[in-house]
Amino acid sequence: MPNQPISAEDLAVTLAVREDLGLQHEPAVIGEFLDRVGASIDARVDERLAASKTVAVKAPDDGGTALAVCSLIFGIPITAISATATPGSPR
């Protein structure tokens, strides 16, 4: 029953039981009701947290991206220099 939401009817029943049992049982009746309210709140919070959790998987960076960028940055000019510096190549 702790996973069920607390309704106004639950409160009315608790108040009726409290009235029927009298002051000597009031702390137990109110305590039990508050435990149920707390459990209901906990269940709702857990549901919201579970719904909002997203797992972001990040691929490990092993330097492949940096290698690719450096290859492009240095590869194009080096290719151009070597192509113009080779004897017999068109200028």
Q: What global pTM score does this model have?
A: 0.51
Give the tokens for residue 32: 């039990």
Q: What is the pLDDT of residues 19-31, one digit of tens each?
A: 898 889 888 988 9
Give the other-Cβ count within 10 Å of 14's Cβ: 18
Q: What is the pLDDT of residues 22-77, one digit of tens each?
A: 889 888 988 999 998 999 899 988 888 888 776 656 667 677 778 888 888 888 77
> How far, in Å, CA of 63 to CA of 4, rounded?
52
Domain boundaries, the chain: 8-52
CA 8 to centroid of chain Cα atoms: 32
